[in-house]
Amino acid sequence: MTNVISVSDSGNISRITHPSSIGREPRIGSRFAVSLIIGSLWVLLHGCTLAPDAVTGVAPTIVIVPPAVPLAVERDASPQGPGDAREADADVEDDQHRSTVSKVEGAWGLAAQRMALPHHLDQLRVRQEFGWFERNPEYFARTSARASRYLPFILDEVEKRGIPGEIALLPIVESAYDPFAYSHGRAMGLWQFIPGTARRFGLQMNWWYDGRRDIVASTHAALDYLEYLHGLFDGDWMLALAAYNSGEGTVRNAQRRQQRAGKPDDFWSLALPAETRAYVPRLLAVSHYVRTHDDLPTLPLTARFRAIELQDQTDLAVISRLADVPLSQLYRLNPGLNRWATPNGGYTLLVPPEVSPELSSLLQGLADGERMRLKRHKIRYGESLSVIAAQYGTSVDALRRVNQVRNSTIRTGEHLLVPTASQHPSDYALSAANRHADATAYRHEKMGTPVTYRVESGDSLWLIAQRHGVAVRALASWNGLAPTDVLRVGKTINIWGGSQGAVAAPVVAHGHERATRRVNYRVRRGESLAVIAGKFNLSVSDIRGWNGAVATSRYIHPGQQLTLFVDVTKTRRE
């Protein structure tokens, strides 16, 4: 089964469970059936060759909705004969279904009106996917709550570009409209960008901010990418969508194989990775479901936010107070924010539409000390900018900017102005301190009382881990730190001792909308637990603790399924 954690507006946690048998069907060779009927009439029944799963260039997504019925063959055995007749029937079938457009009002109805792609209900895979949605109508009820924030904006952007309305529904397949969705391939956000593709299409990622989760920036980047792929594949949206999922090289190579064999090179004929063979039909099924159902929740037609341009870094608590908007709502509208403040330099802030138009001028009129609280810090012997930044929960760049320091040289006895949060860490729903507090409370509940250790001069996480017989990454995770963080003397460290401490309990959102996501990871060829741990900033001992099958085993094998709990704001960006 595939489990996906979803967090409601109130902070409650729900688990979306889908059957996962689909998309992992066995290899099927070309099948030919011969029947002799009155005069030796031969009927060629279609089949297809399915390639085994491959490691693709674009990370597969975690939030998917597979159908419940296992797939036997990609196409139906049809008495209509070879391809042209089948495609003609498909056109007729789609024309019939286009006449049954949903009368639902709001954004779902608008999406249905703007659809332009054939939904290929002649394909067995599409009908299977559609059947899953038919049997699980509650899925759309849950997804609609998140989609109501973002779908109207995405629909507007899709219309501006003249793109089929089906593309606005792609985040259902990618992330279930959860901007904090995170996949085992380090893909993130509504549109599930991996770091390399994100940079290629202009998304920024730094300590304060991750553009893959930014609603506006990631939508623009995703549509840019899709338009590029649409042009690359000569206007074929099926191939463009397949390439968005598996990488343009994967689709190109599959086409070349077909062309060399003198066979059709359309999407339905290609031997693509199993996930991609399910991905495109899933979008078509989602689209057809929206198009033909009148019982969907009514969503707003206009975006539930407007943009304000900020020129300088600003504490979110200050914005919350001036805008009279809860911090949690600001984070939901601006999920790209990693910390307690907007990033350095310019930033486009999204606020509810009812916020006073005067907010922009109020923010522009703030002095430096009003935008962010500045604390005076006397430099001690042995301190560096990185040590001081870590102590106050800020960045080295912020220290340099505020103090006009060009390099990293500072002198003992001098003073620095340090930007600090104006409210308690628990007030910032996605701050590192808040995530750590939730995680610690959860571990206290599940693992008992930890041993506490007070950091002394010369201590490091590695030394403390060695003394107590635990993994460095586990120790860092328990205390909301990175393994390479410098420890402040006097800081209290929580340690769940010995082997029990290394078996960390899963950290799931607990009371606030947080950035920890459960990832169902499929081991790839050549990977070890250490390699997988490095990808997600985890420890091997954490992975063993979450997966009983590898708790005592020395080896893992390709295709093995592992459960991981990943903080999406603390993963490698390279």
Hey, which residues are catalytic here?
174
Q: Which residues of 445-475 are buried (b: 16+ CB within 10 A; e: fewer)?
A: eebeebeebebeeebebeebbeebebbbbbb
Rg (CA), the chain: 26
Instruction: Tokens for 458, please give them.
Output: 């010369």
In DSSP terms, 2 is beta-bridged to 18
Contact between residue 478 and residue 450 where contact means Cβ atoms under 8 Å apart = yes
Distances (CA, A) of 145 to 62, 300, 334: 19, 11, 17
Task: Give 105-152 as a 3 state SS string.
Answer: CEHHHHHHHCCCCCCCCCCHHHHHHHHHHHHCCHHHHHHHHHHHHHHH
Contact between residue 263 and residue 254 where contact means Cβ atoms under 8 Å apart = no
3-class secondary-structure state, position 324: coil
Instruction: Tokens for 53, please give them.
Output: 């799963």
Q: How many CB atoms sit inside 10 A of residue 124's CB? A: 18
Is residue 12 classed exposed, middle or buried when 0-12, 13-18 and 19+ CB atoms within 10 A define those classes? exposed
Contact between residue 531 and residue 543 where contact means Cβ atoms under 8 Å apart = no
Is residue 26 classed exposed, middle or buried when 0-12, 13-18 and 19+ CB atoms within 10 A define those classes? exposed
Distance in angstroms (rounded) separating the CA atoms of residues 311 and 513 = 27
Distances (CA, A) of 572 to 189, 205, 472, 568, 569: 15, 11, 17, 9, 9
Q: Which residues of 102-119 are buried (b: 16+ CB within 10 A; e: fewer)?
A: bebebbbbbbbebbebbb
Instruction: Tokens for 332, please give them.
Output: 């939901």
**Could you tell me what percentage of the chain is helix, strand and coil, using 3-state DSSP and rounding each to the nearest 5?**
40, 10, 45
Length of the chain: 574
Provide the strand spans (E) within 364-460.
373-378, 415-420, 451-454
Distances (CA, A) of 350 to 11, 149, 171, 358, 360: 20, 11, 20, 14, 11
Contact between residue 339 and residue 208 where contact means Cβ atoms under 8 Å apart = yes
